[in-house]
Amino acid sequence: MTAQNDIETRLAELLKEIKDGDQWQVGYPGNQNFDYSPLIPFLSHCLNNIGDPFHQTHYRGNTHQFEREVILHFAQLTGLDPDDAWGYVTSGGTEGNMYGLYLARELHPEGMLYFSEEAHYSILKIARVLNMPHTTVKRRPTARSTTTTSGTC
């Protein structure tokens, strides 16, 4: 078997595993009912949203226009003046948590981070990476809570 055939075989096996596992993804936030086919033509390009989406960059392979539209959409939903809106679209919850905790650390360098043991798994990891003093708050069961659920911070 050639190296190329080996790669193709392994990728086919991986795809089968992923497809077989789709039915067991209950509870994880990935949406299995989304048609990504309109995005296929973009996969052959190196896209990177380098820099601030509200400032022009020399790198043309970005989607800053769409990123700004998303930010302004959420500004409108929350009643924020579009002129005061800023942000960027993250790759997921962990990156969003990382940036939020980074800003908190910069604004309050002497602050203490408190978070529930039910918080997103990334919070403790990020607190360590950012060298933030932190305390985990234990979950206190209530009469109404019969199961533990994960929350996000």
Q: pLDDT tens-digit profile of 38-66?
A: 999 999 999 998 889 999 888 989 999 99
- In which domain, by residue range, is 107 found? 93-137
Looking at the domain assignment, is residue 113 inside a domain? yes
In a domain, 130, yes or no: yes
Is 77 domain-assigned? Answer: no
| The model scores a pTM over 0.75 | no
In a domain, 100, yes or no: yes
Asked if 63 and 57 count as a contact pair (C-beta separation under 8 A), the reply is no
Would 119 be classed as within a structural domain?
yes
CA-to-CA distance for 153 and 107, rounded, in angstroms? 18
Reply yes or no on whether the pLDDT at 14 is more than 50. Answer: yes
Q: How far is CA 6 from the centre of its chain?
A: 33
Mean pLDDT (whole number) for 3-14: 94
Let me know if residue 47 belongs to a domain.
no
The number of folded domains in the chain is 1
* Residue 3 included in any domain: no
Residue 52 lies in a domain: no
